[in-house]
Amino acid sequence: MDKGVAAVRLQFPTRVQAIDELSSRDAVFCEICRDFAEAQTELARWNASSEAIRDERIAEYSELLSALGKEIEDALDRTSVVSLHRGLGPRSV
């Protein structure tokens, strides 16, 4: 499994099925997942750092993770809506 997708599955455990479905067919979503995993790694690194710019970098990566998390949730929500509409089938009149 892709490292990025694995990180997103851990972050959103209730959405694993939608994550797996979307990642199997959407390269852009997979790239967002990789960015998310990289940002998590960098945030952990800066949290352990004693460099002078530590707090600034922590704030930047926290903000980036928040934005990527929102982007991931939005993509999953769009997928869920499409899946629901597909599952309705033809309507009787």
Q: Over the stretch 45-85, which tens digit does the pLDDT of each residue have? A: 999 999 999 999 999 999 999 999 999 999 999 987 655 55
Q: Rounded distance, CA 39 to CA 93, Å?
A: 51
- Domain-located, residue 91: no
Q: Rounded distance, CA 10 to CA 79, Å?
A: 19
- Domain-located, residue 86: no
Q: Rounded distance, CA 81 to CA 12, Å?
A: 18
Q: Given this model, what pLDDT does residue 74 score? A: 97
Q: Which residue matches tokens 């903000």?
A: 63
CB contact burial 47-63 (16+ within 10 A = b; e otherwise): eeeeeeeeeebbeebee
Q: Is the pTM of this model over 0.75?
A: yes
- Domain-located, residue 81: no
Give me the domain span that covers residue 54: 3-76
- Average pLDDT, integer, range 80-91: 57
- Domain-located, residue 10: yes
What's the number of domains the chain is made of?
Answer: 1
Q: Given this model, what pLDDT does residue 80 score? A: 76
**pLDDT tens column, 6-42:** 999 999 999 999 999 999 999 999 999 999 999 999 9
